Structure 1
Amino acid sequence: MHALSLHGAGLGLRREHLSGLRTDIPNAIDFFELAPENWMEMGGRRRRDLEAIAAQRPIVAHGLSLNLGGFAPLDTAFLKRVKRFLDQYQIELFTEHLSWCGDDGHLYDLLPIPFTSDAVQHVATRIRQAQNILERRIALENASYYVTPSIAELNEQDFIRAVLDEADCDLHLDVNNVYVNAINHRYDPHAFIDAMPSARIVYLHVAGHYHEADDLIIDTHGAPVIDPVWSLLAYTYACKGKRPTLLERDFNIPPLADLLPEIETIRRLQSRAAKVNHAA
């Protein structure tokens, strides 16, 4: 499975859903995504479950702890473990967050990188190193953030584009994160989408979030997707083309059947976009 062969609608693979997936994978789910940190070197029934799912659907690996924006040396031993895992399950696409999450130890949070030209070079060097070890291109996810870095030479869009160009890597565009940041930092989410390089977009995320206040929302992945995010997803398809899209649900996880309507919404928006593009 080449990364660009992904299509349709995907779902984050959660252990809460494994019992149902053992008997039947709904046709609406075209691919799955998992965090390799949660599945590497696992044995027993969980390994058999993953092997069965990987035999039926493509899988994307979405990392949580690579710390691309940090200053501690990249954990090359960890990257080699990830590579073995990706090879074992024929996972071609590995994505990570454009953020930092550790120094002397792991901080268990995704923190923003200053939008500077020095940071572009620093992060791009680490991405190229990781790509060499993984023997795969990495796709970077635009991260949600709640404090603007005090030093900023670039805006967020230009910073992302510069990192992608300098590292020669791809973009994992999280539409919900665009919406969250647009509310919290008061910018136009449509202009942000417009600025993203179409040729580098591999796939998309949508998710729910929590409203702390009118001007502050928190990216929780713990609630249904709201209408403005669905509208922004439709806009993304309209200006960037139909892209494979994954529904994230990491907390308050309901039964699989309760998530299928959101998966079907993704497919419906994709179908509508395909018809519009064909007519054009």
Structure 2
Amino acid sequence: MTFAVSGAGLGLRRDFLSELGPLLPAPVAFMEVAPENWLKLGGHLGKALRALTERHPFVCHGLSLSIGGPAPLDWDFIAAVKGFLDQHQIRVYSEHLSYCSGNAHLYDLMPIPFTDDAVKHVAQRVRQVQDFLERPLALENVSYYAAPGQQLSEIDFLTAVLEEADCQLLLDVNNIYVNATNHGYDAEAFLQALPSQRIAYGHIAGHDQEAPDLIVDTHGADVIDPVWALLQKAYGYHGVFPTLLERDFNLPPLAELVGEVAIIDKYQRQAARAVA
């Protein structure tokens, strides 16, 4: 399977932008940005980003496409995203399988009803976006805390959308662990049921354990051992795919983040050796 990026990645944050030189710290092989956070930036920040994207592979992970929302797609925004992807030669654009707007922007990721009608609605919008962007869209399996109007299981809904839309998957390993705990299903069985051929890349992140049966997906803590173990199982089931560390707040020093990226790299190398 051929991927647009490879190896272990790290989400770019402005907090450590000034620490990055012309070379990424090993073993960081690629980086990710949310286009919404950079679209309108010029000046030294815009130049710093351009200097990085000219030298290193990047992917984009969007926040506000609202692919499952009831409101019409925002084509002005999508055109701006396309310009950003073109400018920075970014081949992978991922978004959340959720929605975040109706009559206004909600500034949160809301769960799409797991129904056949929702599969058709989302898939049609995904195909329109892919055609316009001239790139595949990768949808992330999101964390959710309620399932209003549910008719399908999460795995059946997710795989139906991917098939109907003919799009890619951003496999978030932490979200599988979070949802399995919160909704009482087998994380490994869910992982195994995913379509390997649709995986574009993966995410791994930390979370907050609020109660024995309630985890909140925060991206604000270190990755815990059971999630690392699930990542290793993911490589066993699906082969080694590019995987990126997400950390959005409570940011430790860059060296500590790179240390977690090194764990991804270690497990990728171990998995590759196991099948060599």
TM-score normalized with structure 2 length: 0.98
- Please give the per-residue CA displacement for 1:94-144, whole angstroms capped at 9, x wherever unaligned: 000000111011101101111110000000011111112211110000000
CA distance in 2, matches of 1:203, 1:24: 22
CA distance in 2, matches of 1:53, 1:174: 25
CA distance in 1, matches of 2:111, 2:54: 37
CA distance in 2, matches of 1:252, 1:34: 18
SS of equivalent to 2:3: helix
Q: Please tell me the residue identity of whatever aligns with 1:274.
A: A
SS of equivalent to 2:28: coil
User: Are residues 1:108 and 2:99 paired?
Assistant: no
Runs of 4 or more off by more than 4 Å in structure 1?
none
In structure 1, the gaps of 5 or more residues are: none
- Please give the per-residue CA displacement for 1:189-223, whole angstroms capped at 9, x wherever unaligned: 00001110000011110000001001001000000
Contact preservation (8 Å) 1:101, 1:110: yes
> Following TM superposition, by how much is the alpha carbon of 1:27 offset from its aligned partner in structure 2, in angstroms?
2.2
Match of 2:145 in 1: 146
> Following TM superposition, by how much is the alpha carbon of 1:41 offset from its aligned partner in structure 2, in angstroms?
3.0
1:9-88 equivalence runs, <5 A: 9-22=8-21, 24-88=23-87
SS of equivalent to 2:108: strand
Question: Percent of pairs identical after alignment?
Answer: 57
Contact preservation (8 Å) 1:22, 1:49: no
Q: Please tell me the residue identity of whatever aligns with 2:227.
A: V
Alignment coverage as a number of residue pairs: 275
User: Are residues 1:271 and 2:269 paired?
Assistant: yes
CA distance in 1, matches of 2:185, 2:263: 26
SS of equivalent to 1:243: coil
Match of 1:221 in 2: 219
Q: Please tell me the residue identity of whatever aligns with 2:214.
A: L
> Following TM superposition, by how much is the alpha carbon of 1:40 offset from its aligned partner in structure 2, in angstroms?
0.7
Match of 1:93 in 2: 92
CA distance in 1, matches of 2:176, 2:77: 30
CA distance in 2, matches of 1:222, 1:143: 16
In structure 2, the gaps of 5 or more residues are: none
> Following TM superposition, by how much is the alpha carbon of 1:22 offset from its aligned partner in structure 2, in angstroms?
3.3
CA distance in 2, matches of 1:6, 1:135: 18
1:158-197 equivalence runs, <5 A: 158-197=156-195
SS of equivalent to 1:173: strand
CA distance in 1, matches of 2:237, 2:23: 35
> Following TM superposition, by how much is the alpha carbon of 1:23 offset from its aligned partner in structure 2, in angstroms?
5.6
> Following TM superposition, by how much is the alpha carbon of 1:24 offset from its aligned partner in structure 2, in angstroms?
4.5
SS of equivalent to 1:193: helix
Q: Which moved more, 1:18-27 or 1:175-184?
A: 18-27
Q: Please tell me the residue identity of whatever aligns with 1:257.
A: A
Q: Please tell me the residue identity of whatever aligns with 2:96.
A: H
User: Aligned Cα RMSD in Å?
Assistant: 1.0
CA distance in 2, matches of 1:68, 1:261: 34
Q: 2:241 aligns with which of 240, 243, 262?
A: 243
Q: 2:228 aligns with which of 224, 227, 230?
A: 230
Q: Please tell me the residue identity of whatever aligns with 1:107.
A: L
